[in-house]
Chains A and B, each alone.
Chain A
Amino acid sequence: MKLNNIILSGLIASTTLFASDLETHLNYFGDLTFNTLDKSGYAYRHYGSDDIENKVDYSSYSKLGGQLTLTKDDFDFVAQATLKRYENHFESKLNWLNLKYTYENFAIRAGKMQLPLFLNSNSLDVSYVHLWAKSPIEVYGIFPMKSYNGLEFLYQKSFDNEIYLDLQVTPLGSIKEDVDMIDSFGSVEGELKDIKNIMVSLDVNNFSFKSTYTQGKINISSEGTGIDTLTSTLRQFGFDSLANKYSFENTKLEFFSFGIDYDNNKFIFNSEIAKMKSESFLPNVLSYYALAGYRIGKWTPFMMYAENKNEKEHFTEDELVTNSTNPLVVGTIAGIKAGLEQELYKMNSSQKTTSIGFRYDYKQGIALKFQADRITTTDYGTPSIDGSTNGFLARDAGGEDEPAYLYTASLVFAF
């Protein structure tokens, strides 16, 4: 955090010093968002955000962001930071800090950038540019890490001024940061390295087709967690291959996403299907959303459906068996299996959300939004003994498995 502040201060100081040589732009964005859940005993959770509970709170999704852009000839220097309240204190985060060089249709960018895992990942903080009041967590909540350090190549071309191609390639990149996992891990040190990404976008008339693929290797320190205890126990009983299967050491992660945007100035349609493939404790995930809206003057009512499906087979471990007839060994293995499956169960984030809402464009740069979500979770595998769940919508012990309603109202701006 201190390093970020030093870099930002340096940038501001350099702007003052070289103001005569540089074209300087300061843009800012933010939102004041209020959320509440309709019932107690539940918590709506997102990486790096305070839980939303059965009380009106502004802290979970409200934020303030600023961006400084310095331009000289074909070079652009961008520094963007956000400030939000988290766990009873204000936390700043540097999202972008990079230098870009543009030559005709090509550009190369190096530094800190937002990871384009999904189609709107790199603009998710700027709520003003999206129709929804709250992004579909089913897709955008799959993975917690956001900004990476690396290199990007950008290319754009038009074909007969009818088809516009945007290509973005990341040949190398890495992230190392503390991640506040939404499950029982708590805050852990995470690293995603050897990041490679390709993103293609084609604009044709009112349609925009986008696709992105990312792969990388993840390391998460599970020391002192339940998973650490379980993998140690598995090794102790000779189940080394299973212990490796659930470890987070140099584990390959893959992300794929495809989406369509349509906007004819009246009717708006956005849809995306995303997949995360993991060879670790994380389950494979298939998720998607579809959003349709219609502009009526300054008003744009919309509805959205989103679903997150974790691979069901992930939550049972049939390989954990023993040939022993010794009741003590059989009992112990059965105990380890139950413990493992309960830990796996905590990773289940399968859920469906149906939303309705509206956006009101008050004036250029300022909009009001409202969204009501109906969320239902899908239980897989071996439920915890006390009936609690740990997905995006977490349920306290003894809670009933029934839909929860989440309401979001926000004032958003971007200039």
Chain B
Amino acid sequence: MRTIVILLSINILLFSDMNVITSQQNSLLAVDKDTLSAIYLKKVTSIDNKHITPIDNIADYNEFYKKVVKKTPQQIHSYWMKEIFTGKKRPPKKVLKKDLEKHLQENTTAITYSTSKIKSTQTKVIYEVK
């Protein structure tokens, strides 16, 4: 019984999907992977003239960047260091998983990602990361 529970837990960890979410009040309905990558590198700051504010979830940071932006944490860090030290852009705000919902409620232009479901009727899924 204990073995089954451990195997199930490993299965959930390995195959847990990640959702990209935003506030229900955001008019954005869906987003594709390339656009998402561009949003998180701040090459795109708006869609259909609506401002987008990407927020990083500290817990799922490495997995998101590996799957969506296709960069390692070191590569992403190097990218942002160049942008910061040339005074051009700043990286998305990094937030603890427990605070994600609060940020989405406070800022309806915000989008974020999470492997765990956020139990709220105030948010919607705009992309499923496989």
Distance between Cα atoms of A183 and B72 in the complex (Å):
44
Nearest CB of A to B72, in Å: 8
Chain A 186-227 interface mask (CB, 8 Å, partner B; 1/0): 000000000000000001000000000000000000000000
Q: Do residues A100 and B87 form an inter-chain contact, with CB atoms below 8 A? A: yes
| B2 interfacial contact with A, CB 8 Å | no
Chain B 25-58 interface mask (CB, 8 Å, partner A; 1/0): 0000000101100100001111000010000000
Residues of A within 8 A of B (CB): 25, 27, 29, 65, 67, 69, 71, 76, 78, 80, 96, 98, 100, 104-105, 109, 113-114, 122-123, 125-126, 128-129, 154, 156, 158, 161-162, 164, 203, 265, 298, 361, 364-365, 414
Chain B neighbourhood of A76, CB < 8 A: 87, 90
| B67 interfacial contact with A, CB 8 Å | no
Distance between Cα atoms of A376 and B26 in the complex (Å):
61
Q: Do residues A129 and B81 form an inter-chain contact, with CB atoms below 8 A? A: yes
| B3 interfacial contact with A, CB 8 Å | no
Chain A neighbourhood of B85, CB < 8 A: 27, 29, 65, 67, 80, 123, 125-126, 129, 414
Q: With A113-B87, A126-B82 given, is the CB distance from A365 to B44 under 8 Å?
A: no
Chain A neighbourhood of B81, CB < 8 A: 27, 29, 126, 128-129, 365, 414
Q: Do residues A104 and B90 form an inter-chain contact, with CB atoms below 8 A? A: no
Chain B neighbourhood of A114, CB < 8 A: 86
Q: Do residues B82 and A104 form an inter-chain contact, with CB atoms below 8 A? A: no
Contact of B35 among A71, A98, A161, A364 (CB under 8 A): A161
Chain B neighbourhood of A113, CB < 8 A: 87
Chain A neighbourhood of B43, CB < 8 A: 156, 158, 164, 203
**The 9 residue pairs across chains A and B that have the minimum distance between CB atoms:** A414-B81, A129-B82, A78-B87, A164-B43, A126-B85, A361-B74, A122-B86, A161-B35, A364-B77
A77 and chain B: residue at smallest CB distance: B87
Chain B neighbourhood of A414, CB < 8 A: 77-78, 81, 85
Chain B neighbourhood of A25, CB < 8 A: 84, 90
Q: Do residues B45 and A265 form an inter-chain contact, with CB atoms below 8 A? A: no
Chain B neighbourhood of A125, CB < 8 A: 85
Contact of A104 among B32, B45, B77 (CB under 8 A): B45
Nearest CB of B to A23, in Å: 9
Distance between Cα atoms of A80 and B44 in the complex (Å):
26
Nearest CB of B to A205, in Å: 10
Distance between Cα atoms of A164 and B44 in the complex (Å):
8
Q: Do residues B46 and A161 form an inter-chain contact, with CB atoms below 8 A? A: no
| B9 interfacial contact with A, CB 8 Å | no
Contact of A265 among B34, B73, B75 (CB under 8 A): B75
Interchain residue pairs with CB less than 8 A apart (20): A25-B84, A27-B85, A29-B85, A67-B85, A69-B90, A78-B87, A105-B45, A109-B87, A123-B86, A129-B78, A129-B82, A129-B85, A154-B88, A156-B43, A161-B34, A164-B43, A265-B72, A364-B77, A414-B81, A414-B85
Interface of A is mostly: strand
| B70 interfacial contact with A, CB 8 Å | yes
B71 and chain A: residue at smallest CB distance: A265
Q: How many contacts between A and B, using CB within 8 angstroms? A: 75
Contact of B84 among A67, A105, A109, A161 (CB under 8 A): A67
Distance between Cα atoms of A389 and B77 in the complex (Å):
42
A158 and chain B: residue at smallest CB distance: B44
Distance between Cα atoms of A361 and B71 in the complex (Å):
14
Chain A neighbourhood of B90, CB < 8 A: 25, 69, 71, 76
Chain A neighbourhood of B77, CB < 8 A: 364-365, 414
Nearest CB of B to A259, in Å: 15
Q: Do residues B46 and A104 form an inter-chain contact, with CB atoms below 8 A? A: yes
Q: Apart from A69-B84, A80-B87, A414-B77, what are 15 other A-B pairs with CB-CB below 8 Å?
A: A25-B84, A76-B87, A100-B87, A104-B45, A109-B87, A113-B87, A123-B82, A123-B86, A126-B85, A129-B78, A158-B38, A162-B34, A164-B44, A265-B70, A364-B77
Q: Do residues B38 and A164 form an inter-chain contact, with CB atoms below 8 A? A: yes
Chain B neighbourhood of A69, CB < 8 A: 84, 87, 90
Nearest CB of A to B61, in Å: 11
Chain A neighbourhood of B72, CB < 8 A: 265
Chain B 5-34 interface mask (CB, 8 Å, partner A; 1/0): 000000000000000000000000000101
Chain A neighbourhood of B71, CB < 8 A: 265
Distance between Cα atoms of A78 and B90 in the complex (Å):
12
Distance between Cα atoms of A156 and B73 in the complex (Å):
25
Distance between Cα atoms of A125 and B87 in the complex (Å):
13
Per the 8 Å Cβ criterion, residues 72-113 of B in contact with A are: 72-75, 77-78, 81-82, 84-88, 90
Nearest CB of A to B35, in Å: 5
Chain B neighbourhood of A65, CB < 8 A: 85
Nearest CB of A to B28, in Å: 14
Nearest CB of A to B85, in Å: 5
Q: Do residues B38 and A161 form an inter-chain contact, with CB atoms below 8 A? A: yes
